[in-house]
Structure formats: structure tokens, C-alpha cells
Amino acid sequence: MIVKMKKIFILTQGKDTAAAVKSLRKLGVVHVENQEIPGGEDITSLHEDLAVIEKAIGILSLPEFYEKCGVSSAKMLKDWRFAAKHLADSKSRYDQLYEYLTSLKDKISRWEAWGDFDPDDIVELTSGGLNIKFYQIPSKELNRGQRPIRENKNSKNRALSPILKVISTVRGMANCLVISESKITMPYKELEAPSLGLKQMKGKLAETYEVIERIKNEIRKYVCYHERFTHIKKAFEKELEFHEAVRGMASSGEISYLKGYVPVDKVPAVSEYAAKEKCGIFITEPSDEDKVPTLIRTPKWASLIKPVYKLLEILPGYRELDVSPLFLIFLGLFFGMIIGDAGYGTLYILLTLIVQMKLGPRAKDKRIFFLLYFFSSCAIFWGILTGTVFGQEWYISAGYRPLIPILNDTKFIQAFCFFLGAFHLTLGHLWQAARKFPSLTALADMGWIAVLWSAFFFARMLILNDPLPGFVRFALLGGVSLAVLFTNPQKNVLKAVGEGLGTVALSIVNNFTDVVSYVRLFAVGLAGVAISDTVNTLSEVFGGDNFIVKMIIIFLGHTINILLGPISVLVHGIRLNVLEFSGHAGLTWSGMPYKPLELTKE
């Protein structure tokens, strides 16, 4: 349920704004909407401090610096600014050295085939009048007996003929050293002489590795302070909220006022605060133009879907539908149909259990684990119904039968997907109609419901070759008529019809395609079962009597399928909720989260 909000204005004298906001913060119920753009040295300073500490937290969160801390929480951090800046400087030095290390390894790889030599000797010989160059020449050019050296005809000193020495050959390219007294040119890739010899480069490499390891160990010393840094960050964020609330207040003469939104059940607490602090208060209903924040209170079981909202960064608008229960139920059904394997579902449960045992105590929101248990159970349930356990062919060949064999009938399951689509989208229009009632526009949604079910029967006719029931034509005609007449009802009937016709043609096509799009549940689920069966078949064909080879093929094949399954749910299952259903339910997911001004929660 989306909680009803009240819009409030709190008035106080300009000199008392900070004290009033400080007291209001203790209530922790007012979502503040700034009336002025907050600014000032205090806000700038807080932003800078937050940037520093966020960078430190980011560094300590990197996997290369992870180290199990000896204590559960390190609370003593005498100078967090020094520590944060030291971490930033260390990480910057680490990045520079790592870049140098990569460059050095590339040079070693490039010059290892040339052997070790002292570049200073090359410089000395060059200063003595010799031209020494390093070339990479295709071996086939040398094998033809061609002379790829071109002497500079303008050169006066031609006492020594150029010498070409093949040092090594790597992947069809000959590394050649060319020495001459005259300037020469060759139509091949020339390498610039290195500044260090191979032995020196390897020495530098070892030294760089040592320095990098020292820096990593230095950074790891601060891992124990990760939690403390996080607490400091939260405190600064709350302090920033406070200063922005004060600076964002509007004023008129000596009076300043704060605008905000409060859940309707918290209004008495705000009224009591205003009386205690001797502040003026005005409470009213939000207007259609107000950007009201969304606070969702759902039953405990339906709140399991919250991690999905957080992952997708979506939230229904204040005046929209809280679809949490429907979202959870249908996404669970979609997960079961797409994964569709009891064996995979069991593995998902075991993996979730292992992760929960390792990370559970530190997880702030444990709903994610129970959500995964729910989804995995749906996969097990659907797998049992269809007789799919790490594939289907072997299960049926072994003499086992699915609980509901008709779910494996291609025509039936496609028809079921169409039915599921029409039913799911109908729920969206029913909510729209209930929300609009007693307005006549509710009849337009009833009309679209008739169109949806007409689309269901047309899909069965066109795709499954089922006969079209006679009543469908009348249902479609009646549905279209309601949609045309009541999309925007008005006294001028012709004008209303004209505006309705403008959207009906395209909407009818969209209704059909939206219903048909639910067949993706069948297609993706079938593909997953086919991959499982193919893996099992390949293990028999290529494994033969070799048990180890069989197990390797089964492990690799099913592992890939297990990893691809949740991705398919993200792409297809969530899409059906967020796009198809939301479009029919009038959901734009444009909600702004309710964030009350409050003190730091420890």
C-alpha cells in the first residue's frame, strides 16, 4: 500500500531556523522539499568531506585489498581525514606503479626473444659511426633470398656492406639486427632500442612487485576501519541533509518557512512538535503539481520484492498502484516457468544457503535470501509438475512421469501463456477502472479488458489454429466502442469519438502483441530444458564408459545453463512486469523515495 501523505508548511522566525530544523530532525518523519537552492561554505565543505570519505570506502571495498579483519569493528580512528587522504595517495601510487608494471611486462615480452644486451653498448657503437637498427621481418621474405636492405645512395662512406643478423624467429617474424656504416632504410617494422637491458628490466619488475605489495599491505591495515568510515559517511550525509534543509527554506521578511510531506498517521506528532516549538504550521492535501514522495508499506510476505525494486532502481509514483504483491507472485511464476527444473531449483537453494551462512550476519537486508528461496521453490515446483530434473528426457526414460503431463504439450502451454498474459494485463486495467470510478473513464478500461480477451482468442486462432468463438467479434466491437467513447468523455460526442479513435487503432495492435509476448515464457523455458537434455546426451556420446569425462561434460554444461537461467528471468520475467503489465496498469515507475529528515541511525 502506498501511504497517503499530507503537505505541511512550518513557519518560524529567521533567527530560529537552525534550532527549529534540529528539533524537527529528531521527529524523523518530514520529507523536506527545498524551496531555495541550498548553498554556502558549510555545504561545500560537507560535499568535499563526503567525496574524500567515499573515495576511501571505495578503495577499501576493492577485492585486491580485501583482508579478513581481526576485530568485528574498529571504532578508534583518531584522524579520519588523514587516514582517508593517506588511502587516496596510496591508491594513486598503486595505480601508477601498476600501470608502469604493465608497461614493463609488455617491454620484457617484446625484447625477451632478442636476448640480454646492454643498451649503453648500442649507444657507444652508434656514437662511433655505426648505424645499428632492430627490425622485425617476415621469415618468408628472408627465405626467398631477397636482400631487403636499401642503402642511402647519398652516403659517401660505403666501406662496410650492411650486416643483417637474425637473432630469433617468433610466430613467423624474424627479429633482425642490422649494422652498417651508412644510413639504411628497410620497408619493415623498426623497433626503437630499449633504454634498459633485459636483466635490468626484470630487476625493475621484481622491485615494482615488491613496492606494490608493500602498498597493498599498507592499505589493508585500514580494512578494519571500513565500518567506521561508513558510519562517518552516514553522519556527514545526515549533517548535509540538515544544512540543506536550513539553507533551502524560503523566507519573507523575518519569517522563514519549510515545506515538506508527512505520512498521514504522523501528522499529530508534527502538530505536537509545532506547538512545543511555538512554530506556525499549515497542513493541506498535496496538489496534482506537487512532487510527493512514495512510501510503501506492504505485508511482510510481499516486502520480499523490495530487493528487486532496489536492483532495478524503480518505484511507483505516489498516485500509482503498489503492485508489490502482484509483482512478487507473477515474477515467482515466471521464474518457475523459465527455469522449470527441480534440480536447478534445489541447487539455487543450496547456493543461497551457503551465501547466507557466510554473509548473512553482515547483510543489512536479509529479504534477498528469502526472495531467492521463494524463486528457487517456484522452479522446483514447476520442475516437479513437468517432470524436469536436470533435464527431462532421462527422467521420462527412467519410467518417471510428470505430475501434470499436459504441461509438456506444446500447444497447451502456449495457450496457457496467452491466457496468463490476458489475465495479468486484465488485473492492471481492473485496478485502473477501480481507481477512476465513478468517472466514466473507468468504462474505457472495461472496454480494453474486452479487447484483451479478444486478442487472447485471436492469438489462439492465428498461432495455434484454434477456431475463433462467435462471441469474440461482438466482444471486440463492444470493447472498442467503450474505449472510443469513454477514453475522454465529453458533451461533444463527435469530438470524444475523434479523440478516442486517435489512440484505439495502435492500442488494439499493442494489446495483441502484449498478450502474445507472454509466449516468451514457453520459448525460453523450452530452450533451457533443451540445453539440459543436450548436455546429458553429449555426456553419453562423448563420455561413453569414462565416468570422469561424463561428469566434466555434465558439470560444465549444466553450470552454464544454471548461470544463464537467472539472466533470462531478468530479461524476460521482469520485462513482463515492468513493461507489458505496467503499461496496462498505468504505472510509470517515476516515484521519488520518501526520505525523512532524521538523525543518524546507529
**Domain residue ranges of the chain, discontinuous segments joined by +:** 117-196
For residue 74, the model assigns a pLDDT of 44
Phi-psi region of 19 (alpha: psi -120 to 50; beta: other; left: phi over 0): alpha
| 129-174 tens-digit pLDDT | 888 899 998 888 877 655 555 544 454 545 557 888 889 998 889 9
Residues with Cβ < 8 Å from 569, sequence gap 6 or more? 331, 334, 335, 338, 339, 375
Structure confidence at residue 385 (pLDDT): 94
Cell of 391: 533435464
Longest dimension (CA), the chain: 108
Those residues of the chain that have pLDDT short of 70 are 67-78, 144-160, 489-503, 505, 600-602
Distance CA 326, CA 585 (A): 12
Residues 6+ apart with CB under 8 A from 175: 113, 114, 134, 135, 136, 166, 167, 168, 169
- Measure the CA dihedral 79/85/87/93, to 10°: -150
Cα separation, 176 vs 371, whole angstroms: 64
At residue 554, the pLDDT reads 92
3 state DSSP class of 298: coil
Cell 538523525, residue located:
599
**429 closest CA partner among 371, 487, 501:** 487
What is the model's pLDDT at position 76?
54
Q: What is the pLDDT of residue 487?
A: 75
Whole-number pLDDT of residue 602: 52
Ranges of H-type helices in 387-470:
393-397, 410-436, 442-464
Output the pLDDT for position 42: 86
Q: What is the pTM (predicted TM-score) of this model? A: 0.77
CB 38 within 8 A of CB 317: no
Residue 71 is predicted with a pLDDT of 46
